[in-house]
Chain A
Amino acid sequence: MGKRIKRYFILLSNCLILSLSGNFAYSQSVISGTVKDTLQNPIPYVNVLLKAENQDGIIAFSTTTENGTYKILTDKEGNFELTFSSISFKKNIQSIFLEKDKEYKIDANLKEETFALDEVIVNTDKAITVKKDSIIFKADAFKSGNEETVEDLLKNIPGINVESDGKIKIGGKEVEKVMVEGDDLFAKGYKMLTKNLDASVINKVEVYNRYSNNRLLKGIEESERVALNLTLKNNVKNKIFGVLKPGYGLASENRYDASANIISFREKNKFYGFTNFNNVGIETTAALSEMTDSGSETNFESMESEQGAISFIKLINYKPDVGDERTNFNNAEMASLNNIYSFSPRLKLKTIGFLDWDENKFFRNSLDTYFLPTGTFTTIEDYDLYGRTFSGFANAELTFDISKDQIFEYSGKFNGSSMETNTSLLFNNDFSKEFLEESPFSTNQTFKYTNRLRPNRALSINGYYIHSKNPQKYKSSRFLFVDLFESNGGNNGVHQLSMHKMNVAGVDASLFNKRKNGDLLQAKVGTNFFNNNYTSNFTIEGLDERPAGFQNSSIFNQFNVYFEPSYKLKLGAFAFTGNINFTQNITTLDSKNVILKKSPFFINPKITLDWELNKKNRITSFFKHENKMPSTESVQDGFVLTQYNTFSKGLQQIDPLDNSTFFVNYMLGTILSTFYANTSFIYIKNDEYLGLKSEFTRDYILNELTRLKDKEFANIQTELNIFIKSLASNAKVKIGYNEQRFENIVNGSLRQVDASTLNYGGELRSAFGSPINFHIGTEWFQSNYKTNITEQENLRNRTFLDIVYEPIKNLNLSLNSSRYFFSGLNIDNDAYYFMDFEGSYPLIKNTVSLAVMGKNLLNTRTLRNLMVDDTGVFQSEYRLLPRFFILKAKVRF
């Protein structure tokens, strides 16, 4: 009995185990069968789908083999249907009730049926939409959840690259601007936006390729530019956000670099405010130039260059090439506000306001030795400068979209400064003081009307008015010009009041026509008027009469009417652009003693030719011939003081000057080839030119212009690159030579000057896949000035080593060091070493990050350099910002 129960139990439990385990592991039912057509031939490649009855989802599927057989495994039970479908047969559906662990054999006979889809167009709702010149990304499709700023979102979008400094690149090109809802607040300063705007507010990211700043020139002008536009979600247009970036000196004297910004986007009104305080040598006006830099304008939109009034006196005329920040002892504060207001979808006003205060100090000691036909002498100078600047800038831009094909734009810029500079000067061991007061002001009013006449043709009309003036009041406490003026010796100082005032007005019209074959025909016709008012009054203290020949009061006017057709075509491997400028010019110079008038006619041609011989060889070249009138300052007859010991004047003649330029560039290989070389050659010939006639004395210099003939300049530069695979590095060799031949008159003797510079150097840069990389290089410059009596030579060298180390992700360390060497200096101090360090690490991703910056780690306090020209050797010593460390934080709110 017990045995039987036991056996029964074992059997039962076995059954249980079997059935249970079957449930878990072996409970798959197998459905198999053969599919045949009406003629009983097996059909291959029939899709056999298993679906739950009256439901959509396919649970399992199979395809018939060559023999028409199929097999489906499933662990499901219940009511199902089996669908047999193939492209050339009628769909067959069979019901099936599935139980566990069973085998089903289901055959099917399919009837033929023609399946035809005649040109069905499928529309997909894409995360990415590619249009002809734009790509639209739906932001939500690219959000992974942990992004905070727009920059993070952009990093997720394929094809968009955000570099470590925030620069956005698409296809290797930096974007022109990042707009918000089509409005551009920042121009090149877009990082302010992408690093601060919250990613969650973005609806779409639009990439515009072949972007034109003027939408009507799109497709007509040639453009390689890229721009981004962000569209915002509707519910988030009222937020205010910003960033604080305090930075303060560590273990060094009072150093700071702090900035903050605040941003808001409303549908009608968008604004951006920014402020910076620093005394680490950073020019705060750089932020302004970034925000007003609308990118590289093409020749289609070019206007007369924004020239400003002349500064007669320039107190700092040279800074050594070691980075401006090293010699700029400053204390700067700036604030700016950008605003865009939309009156209607078609009418927009953009304004920029900018205020800047700056205090600057600059120190220089010089020892100048002159080698002149009349003998040799030396001057010494010890110069301390202290300046204060207050400047303001305002810009209003109005854009009115008249219609689909017409735009009217107006821009008004106002720029004014007030500067006061004091210097104390030891010149040839005598002490003096200078004082300069300047208040430059300029305004620039432009309007532009663009009309797209046809899809391939556009008309653009520009008008502009520029007013610029620069009054200068200068005083020097020492009289250095005893030889020049009949003086009683009791003179204490000199004064100069000067002002250049200019008014420029012009209007031009351009027609662009892109032909079907891609050739571009452009014609421009226009007129402009330049009015220059040039006055200077030089007085000597204690002398009632102003010295004759040192005063200016003249009006210099130029009027041009011009026509400029140009044609661009491509013929196989050749690309050719021809451009001719025809100008009728009327120039008058009206000074106290003379009135001059000329009305020349100019024909200025320019031809560009690019030739791509084959994949490895490419030549680009141009030739141009240019006639133009001399500039305002070069036609003035009276001397003006330009430095405490220097007078300059022009030549009172208004005959045009001409020059010819030839340029050719040859590229062997490409930047991708193992060997890559680029060589360029330029030659400039001036048949007639304004040369210098100078008189040097130990106390003063007199410069005037004189007309001379035949000046030549030639320059050849070549750069060879070879990629060394075994070192994963590129080696570069640079060699160049330029030579200039001209004449000048020095202390009464006319002479030929031969000036040449030979430069040569090499670099090695690594591209290791490791966290550490380096870049090392050196370059020598050998200058030579030769006249019939003298020869001055000079050799200088710059060597650098940059190392980057990223030991862990996001911790970025970089060390930049360089050495400057000047021959001819005292052997003990002819080399100068610099080292800068920077390290940064994000503490809380996208919210708080810390950086340490060390400048001038070797604490080099002075830099001496040496330069030569045909008149002498000039040695200068500059004082440098001492070593400092700054701890910087960045907090987003």
Chain B
Amino acid sequence: MCRDCSCGQPAPESNPEPLPEQPRRLPLHTALLQRNDAGAAALRQRFTAAGVTVVNLLSSPGSGKTALLEALAQRLGSAEGAAPRLAVIVGDLATDNDARRLQAAGVQAVQITTGQACHLEAPMVAEGVHRLSHQGVALGQLELLVIENVGNLVCPGAYDLGEGLRVVLLSTTEGEDKPLKYAPIFHGADLVLISKIDLAEAVGFDRAAAHAAIARVAPHAQVLEVSARSGAGLDALIAALGLATPAVR
């Protein structure tokens, strides 16, 4: 019955026109890279279980990542017929040139071509590990697995690949202020390598300025100067990676 006037008429329908639906808020707080992060966590677990040191090697194109790995492989050596100590998963947009260069240097290497993608993601690394196993390389027999990322100082920094050590390489020919120009990628570095140190004098590289710049944007990182050509710093690098330096032959 009508409550307003006791007139005896049936009560009118309330709100005959439905109100437009109000937007409601759905709080999520999810990481945008959660799929990659889950893949990276699974890889990290496998790497830890296998007891292999895994490095994610980052730099701009042409700073000498591949040359450094060739020199490192030579320095690490491997007795004839013995299991390889080092394997490399190398990413580029196109070509398998780098994998072939590394294989020519005696390194077990697989090439990941990313097409137009500017960085490696965890599933690509899982694929690389799978392909290494098809070449007869088991994680458990390796001491060091290097993931040579796509040459790019911006995008690869956001993607965890399950590595134990993130190594960013800066060459003397790039200029000592590069870390200040590309701070985000240096922030994640555990180790910063100044490569082509044999050219420092020829290109007027200001060592002190470079070290100061790195300290400002990579305060956690250890810093080493290396040269693939002269071999300078290679033993310090091998030690920093936690590997045994081979006896002088």
User: Are A and B bound to each other?
Assistant: no
Footprint of B on A, CB under 8 Å?
A: none
